[in-house]
Structure formats: C-alpha cells, structure tokens
Structure 1
Amino acid sequence: MSDFDYDLFVIGAGSGGVRAARIAASHGAKVGIAEEYRVGGTCVIRGCVPKKLLVYGAHFAEDLEDCARFGWEVEGKSFDWKKLRDNVADEVDRLEGLYRNTLKGNEVTIHDCRASLGGGHEVKLSDGSSVTAKNILIAVGARPHVPEIEGCQQHAIVSNDVFKLDKLPKRIAISGGGYIANEFAGIFNEFGSTVTIVNRGDRILRGYDHQVRDRLLQISMTKGIRFIFNSTFDKVEKKEDGSLHLTMNGCEDMEVDALLFATGREPNVEGLGLEEAGVKTGDRGAICVDEYSKTSVDHIYAVGDVTDRVQLTPVAIREGHAVADNLFDGQDRTVDYDNIPSAVFSHPPIAAVGLTESEAREKLGGAYKTYTSDFRAMKNVLAGRNERSLYKIVTDANTDVIVGIHMIGPEVPEVMQAAAVAVKAGLTKQAFDDTIALHPTMAEELVLMR
C-alpha cells in the first residue's frame, strides 16, 4: 500500500494536465486531478478551439461575397451572432464532456474545485479537504494580462469575454499587436465591426518574418482595419449610452463600443502556495523548471503556460506526456523546442517554422539564402480579389538545409504542418526542388521556388 492517496496529483485540467493524467494512469499510476472551472483548459474552453470556430464563421463573409463569380447567387443572406455564439458554446460543452469521459475512462479521479500546495506532499482543496500525492504536477496555465489603467478593469474585455458577448460591437478598439489581437481584429472586421488596433510599439507580430507581417498589415488595412502605432491608453470611461471614451497617449482620443485587451498572458500562480512550498518562480511569476519540467522541489513538476516556456497547446501536451512517461514508465524524455511550427489565424492566416530571415542573418553570419513566391491564389483570381499570398524559404547557404519557412495566404497553417516535418528533419532545398509539384495547388509553390 502506498503512503500517499495518489501517485500523481495534477492541479489544472487543461491540455497539458489532462494528457499527463491520462498517460500516467495508463502506466498504472493512481491519479487525481483538480479543476476549479471546466475540464479542457484555455484551449478547449476559451481559446484555440472556440476562436478557430469564430474564424471559420468569419470566413463566410468573404466566401459569400466571392461566390457570385463562381455562379452562385445567395439571396437574403444575413448573419446572426447569437446563433454562432451559442453553437460554439454547445461544441465547447461537447468537447468538455469528451475530456471528462477520457479521464474517467482511465480511472482518473476528478475533483471539481480549486487546489493549492499544502506543504510537503499535501494538496489542499477548496472544498475543505486535502489529499497527499507522491508527485504533484502544476498545469494551471495563464490568463490574459490587463494593464493597470484607470477604467480598464471595469470596462475593458479580454479574449475570454468575446465568446459571451450579447451583441457585436459596432466599433471596437483592440490593444496589442500579437497573434490574439490580429486574429480577433480579422474576426470582428469580417462580422462588420469597425476595428482599430492600438499598439504601443511600431510593428505587429514581433517575432514573425518581416515580409510576412508587413503583408498582413497591408492586407488588413485594405480590408478596412485601422492601425495606430506608438500609442497607449491613459483612461477608459463609460458614457451614458454605454459607449466608451478612450483617453489616449500618442494619438487622438477615441469613442468605441468595446475595448479588447490582447496584451499577452501571465501565469496563474496566485494562491497556489508556491512560496510556502519552496517552488521558485521567475521575474514574470512563471514557475522555474528544468529540462524534465521539475521545479525546485523534487516531487513537484510544472508544464504548459504556467512555466512560460512556449505558450502553445501542443507543447504543453508534449511536456505533460513526457513527465508521465518519465515518472511511471522509466523513460528519459525531454521536449525538443527547436523548430516548433506556429500559426496566426488572421485573415488571411500566417504560418511559420524555424528561423526568420533576420534571425538567420544573425545566427548564420550572413551565410543564408532566401527564396520567395509572391502570387495570387487561383480562387482569388477568379473572385476578382487582389489579395496576394507570400511563401518564403530560408536556407543555410553553406549546407542548403532549410532553416525556416514562412507563409501568409489561404489555408497556410494546413500546408505548414507537413512543411514543418521537412524542416524538423533537416531536409535541403534540393530535396524540395526534386519533389514534383502537386498541381494545381497553392502548396506547390514550396517546390517551385528557384
């Protein structure tokens, strides 16, 4: 008999925590998991999945406009925000049920309450009880950051709130220049809102290749999205008619119906008892871990956004899986963080893997080559839409190995998943050149660049 109630107790039932719990249980461990809100975490409940469904919904705006050139006539078309919102919520409910069933099917005990470290091997639960575990995994994720600006806490919204809006705002300001800001800008713009992105810096999507992000900026402005750079908010006031007056620094004041902050995410570490348990955190509050996701306390681990390593759902899943395999299957697994593909589900979307051109210039000392294809997708040509796609390959000039691929255009995240395998495998540009094109596709441009 074990001296503990559980072999592993997971705090947080998001993607990383659920994967760790399921895999540990499959190895024969007795596992418990605590979640104070809903099983599934940010990605399933209020992030990637519902947001992607909104992206799909938004795309119909342009598809319905373009379809006339393809012989279709759609009379009486209209958009019902509440119908989409509620259908998305129903899908989230369905997915949460699947996650719960997966845990129960693997005999993982679910505690529907908040959990915190109690010292030693104890975990305190908000229902007043406590349990003990030989190993503890913290997988509580992160939350949207809202700056300390007068009126923001009362009147601004964050990405979580978008999925609960009673109606679409006629005018919305979005604070931020990252992927969340640009994704929601595209969504609201396609749904008919007047959108203004306000960024304190001088560029969007810092970290992405300059040609790709410049192309998105150009296309977004053509679609009617307004961009204001080098500006910040001083004050947010709600007027009698429900609209918001934004007192600005760096630009003229604005009147909007909603203000969305998309200014990054911060780890959910408050109230976890980290300091009392001796778990070290970094400057931004993130839990410090080693390559095996172990914290400064030998039996306590942490994965996902709460560690602020790479804030991507598939990364958290890999980290949780590795922890479970190492603890309960005798493996020696770490996660490889090189060449992780990423996507921005903007309009049009962006996908990237590996080094940008500027990173290659710095890392390879100038010994790099770039290949680009700047084209209009066949569908856009017939539709009369002037929107152009851009594909870019970056290679090591000495070895011909592809070190980066960057794309903007229709469906590029789907294309990138396969292309990322090639970059991860260290294939050369010649290998792409030797591959016969699949015609007619947009993806064929990857093997036609010379």
Structure 2
Amino acid sequence: MSFDYDLFVIGGGSGGVRAARVAAQGGARVALAEEDRYGGTCVQRGCVPKKLMVFASEYPGYVEDAKAYGWEAQIGEFSWSAFKSKMHTELDRLEGVYRNILGNNDVETFDARARLADAHTVELSDGSRKTAKHILLAMGGWPMRPDIPGAELGITSNEVFHMDDLPGSMLILGGGYIACEFACILNGMGVNVTQYYRGAQILRGFDEEARGLVSEEMQQNGIDLHLGTNILEMHKEDDGRIRVKATNGTERHFDQVMFATGRTPNTADMGLQDLGVELGRKGEVLVDEYSQTSVPSIYAIGDVTDRVNLTPVAIREGMAFVETVFNGNPTPVDHDLIPTAIFTQPEMGTVGMSEEEARDHGPIEVYATSFKPMREAFAGRAQRVLMKLIVCADTRRVLGCHIVAPGAGEMIQLAGIAVKMGATKEDFDRTVAVHPTMTEEIVTMREPVRTA
C-alpha cells in the first residue's frame, strides 16, 4: 500500500518536533500537524516562560543582598507589562525557531487540528485526509480545573502568562511543583500569595526532608501556605474580587485564583478508542517500552502517555522512537534515574530514590547536612540549604541525591551523571572538594546521620 508519508506526527511540542526532524533527516517523508503554537507546553506555556518569570522574581532578593554587601542599591516598581511584552517576544522567536527546524528539514506542516480516521489515516480540521505508514501521537497535556462551583472564575498555568495585570492577591490551589513554583514566582514579584493544598505536605512523591525544607522556606519568604485545605466553592463579588469558601471553615477574598491541580492528557475527541488504541483511566495513551500503542502503526510519546512528564524525557522518547522504527535499532525508553529540578525559591534538585522509597528496597545509610550558605549568611538571611545522599548499605551505591539550595537545578544535572553511572559513596568521598562552595558538602559527609 502506498502512503502519503512515512510518518505523520500529531503535536508540535518538543517531543513531536524532535521525532519529526530526526526521522526526516534520515530520509523519511514526514508531516506534522499542530493546532496551536509550535513549541508546545514547554516553550509556550511552561518551562521557558516560567523560568523567565523565575529570573524576574529573584531580583528583589539580589538587591537586598547587594545592600548587605555594601552597595547602595534600591529597586523600583516591577512592570509586569514591560516584562510580559518582552517575554512574549521571546516566545514568538522560539516558535519561529521550531517552525524553521521543521521547514529546513523538509517536514511538511499543517496548522490544523488532527484526529485519527483509521490506523494509517489522519483527518485534519479542514476536512482533508492524509495517510502515513506510522502515526506518532505527541499532543501533550492540558491543565485540569477542579469540579467545584465557580471554577470558571479561576485561571490555570496556561493563562498566568497572559494576565493583563499582576493581581494584588492571589490564591494558588495545589501542592505540586507547578503550584509551588508559581507561588514563589508571584510572591517574588510582589503579589500577596496564599496557597491551599489538600495534602499533609507539598511536593508529594519527593524526599520528605527536602520538601519539608522547601515548605518552611516558602513560608519564611512570606507565602501563606495552608495544608490540609481545599476549596469548596467560589463566587465573584460586585467589586470584582473572588470570594473563596474553604474546607478549613474560612471565607476569604482574592483578586485572582489559580488552579494547579494536575494535568490531563490531550486525548479527547481524537478517535483513538474507536480504533482500539487503549487508554488509561486518566485518558493517557497506554504504550509499551518502545512507545508503541495497542495499534501497531500508532506510537505515542511525551505527556500524552503520562509516563514521566518532563520535556527532556519527551525528547528522549522521540529519539528512541526514531531509532526503533526508522533506524532498525529497537531502543526501549530509559526512565530510570532522571534528574529533575523544581524552581521554587530555594530550588530543589533531585535524582534517584527518596529516603522513604529507598527504605522499602533494603538497608540504607542517609548522609545529610543542612546549613546557612556563606553568601546568604553574610547578608543576614535565615535561609538554609540541604545536601543529602541516600546510600545502599550493601552495594555502597548512591541511590538518591537531593539538594535544596539556590542553583540546585544546575548542581543536580552534574550529580545526576555520577548517580546514573552507578557511583558509590566512596567514589563521592574520593572526589576532592571545591572550596568554598555549597556542593563541597556532597563529597565531605563522612558519617551517616541515620540508617534504615
């Protein structure tokens, strides 16, 4: 049978674009459809604009530190409109980069919504149909709103980058990394931030000690965090503010409410189940270790599979897909020991097992130290940092590394290489410290603080 393309990719985010480009570079005839903006969540509604906001929010602290170091420094009012304009100019530039990457590699693009008509046919929103030997689903995910009265009054992480003005006060609902990052960002920009989370501690799934320190520091920095608290209902008042009734018995007013209560895979109205593509209970596309669905010609990568929802993982999955399908080199996706960073203030960097998780796998030793770093201590800040290693008591292998500190994201990238290589505690010990730095503590901790 003759097909229009060897590969049709649905979704122009990081994973889909990488797979399309690499397949086309190998000689495949490739097309890609994107109904929104190229670059996907990461470039347009996630990592990139969020990190720019992180940078912007940190300057008041730098100025305060500068004063402590003898500089006559002061900071004026933050102009959201000036920052927002420049941020969106940068996002437009990056979208152009993504479009050029596809065009320069002879990938045919369609600015249209696509859904599946059969196992080899994609139907575009203009009514046209395209056939392909292989179809790759890379539609990503979308923020969820809670099922409560008045939920339409709130915004999500999609809309936060497009606010006309910074609100005077904002309630953020959620306790995951998106909720915590934006709580810190907006707090740094001068917004009066309150955060509600239904759980007993924020950042569920991360190391208990590390997330506890982040929680303490967030509150120390002025974020009004309420754990074990959820929203019951919301109403718009005559003055435009939002009245929020919470499970803790309070009713409070906020200028804006943001929901960061999870994301759902973009699989609605895609025609998947009609073709026999199996979906999980959240709507995620179920795939095997090679990203293949229950329909042999259809594959899926990235957040739409709800495996590990991180941009570099989607890119790796796209590369593995091309190796498997087009290069004759079956390559399973490696989801083991992925380093990651949470851009709270302070940041958290983590790779491998948490202490709690490691305990369930056998005897461990925990090496940890918490201290005031030199820079912040000199400036009179109370901020503390954490360096922590989880070590297998039998093999001596480092099972997990957790860092809470300014710049933890940069630190964990390098520590992640050692952990991925299978470094032992003695390998860390043999490494000479770089002095004076915060991370020298990672290689100078000699005695475990506890065993389990």
Query: Structure 1 residues 74 and 143 mapped into 2: Cα distance closer, same or farther (>3 Å)?
Result: same
Which residue pairs with 1:141 in the alignment?
140
Query: What is the CA–CA distance in structure 1 between the aligned matches of 2:124 and 2:23, rounded to whole Å?
Result: 21
Superposed, 1:276-355 pairs within 5 Å as 276-355=274-353
> Helix, strand or coil for the counterpart of 2:179?
helix
Q: How much does 1:76 deviate?
A: 5.7
- Aligned: 1:411 with 2:407: yes
Which residue pairs with 2:444 in the alignment?
448
One-letter amino acid of the counterpart of residue 393, structure 1: L
Q: Point out the more displaced range, 129-138 or 63-72.
A: 63-72
Q: Point out the more displaced range, 266-275 or 224-233.
A: 224-233
One-letter amino acid of the counterpart of residue 109, structure 2: I
Q: Is the 8 A contact 2:210 2:402 kept in 1?
A: yes
Q: How much does 1:87 deviate?
A: 1.0
Query: What is the CA–CA distance in structure 1 between the aligned matches of 2:226 and 2:273, rounded to whole Å?
Result: 41
Which residue pairs with 1:5 in the alignment?
4
One-letter amino acid of the counterpart of residue 432, structure 2: I
Q: How much does 1:123 deviate?
A: 0.3
Q: Is the 8 A contact 2:389 2:402 kept in 1?
A: yes
TM-score by length of structure 1 reads 0.98
1:195-234 per-position Cα deviation (integer Å, ceiling 9, x unaligned):
1111111110011111111111111111111111222212
Query: What is the CA–CA distance in structure 2 between the aligned matches of 1:82 and 1:363, rounded to whole Å?
Result: 51
> Helix, strand or coil for the counterpart of 2:349?
strand
Q: Is the 8 A contact 1:437 1:448 kept in 2?
A: yes
Which residue pairs with 1:112 in the alignment?
111
Which residue pairs with 1:387 in the alignment?
383
> Helix, strand or coil for the counterpart of 1:363?
coil
Q: 1:434 aligns with which of 426, 430, 433?
A: 430
Superposed, 1:223-242 pairs within 5 Å as 223-242=221-240
Query: What is the CA–CA distance in structure 2 between the aligned matches of 1:311 and 1:163, rounded to whole Å?
Result: 20
Q: How much does 1:74 deviate?
A: 2.6
- Aligned: 1:396 with 2:392: yes
1:27-58 per-position Cα deviation (integer Å, ceiling 9, x unaligned):
11000000001110000011001000000000
Q: Which runs of 4+ in 1 moved over 2 A?
A: 74-78
Which residue pairs with 1:215 in the alignment?
213
Q: 2:158 aligns with which of 143, 160, 163?
A: 160
> Helix, strand or coil for the counterpart of 2:81?
helix
Q: How much does 1:439 deviate?
A: 1.5
TM-score by length of structure 2 reads 0.97
> Helix, strand or coil for the counterpart of 1:160?
coil
Query: What is the CA–CA distance in structure 2 between the aligned matches of 1:410 and 1:213, rounded to whole Å?
Result: 15
- Aligned: 1:99 with 2:98: yes
One-letter amino acid of the counterpart of residue 111, structure 1: F
Query: What is the CA–CA distance in structure 2 between the aligned matches of 1:42 and 1:309, rounded to whole Å?
Result: 16
Alignment gaps of 5+ in structure 1: none
Q: Paired residues, what number?
A: 446
Which residue pairs with 2:76 in the alignment?
77
- Percentage of matched positions with identical amino acids: 48
1:358-397 per-position Cα deviation (integer Å, ceiling 9, x unaligned):
1111111xx1001112122221022111101001000001
Q: Is the 8 A contact 1:341 1:353 kept in 2?
A: yes
> Helix, strand or coil for the counterpart of 2:264?
strand
Query: What is the CA–CA distance in structure 1 between the aligned matches of 2:190 and 2:75, rounded to whole Å?
Result: 16
Alignment gaps of 5+ in structure 2: 447-452
1:148-203 per-position Cα deviation (integer Å, ceiling 9, x unaligned):
111112x1000011110111111111100010010000011111111111111111
Query: What is the CA–CA distance in structure 2 between the aligned matches of 1:195 and 1:56, rounded to whole Å?
Result: 18
Q: Is the 8 A contact 2:119 2:298 kept in 1?
A: no
Q: 2:188 aligns with which of 173, 183, 190?
A: 190
CA RMSD of aligned residues (A): 1.0
Query: What is the CA–CA distance in structure 2 between the aligned matches of 1:270 and 1:127, rounded to whole Å?
Result: 18
Q: Is the 8 A contact 1:39 1:96 kept in 2?
A: yes
Which residue pairs with 1:41 in the alignment?
40
Q: Is the 8 A contact 1:371 1:392 kept in 2?
A: yes
Q: How much does 1:445 deviate?
A: 1.5
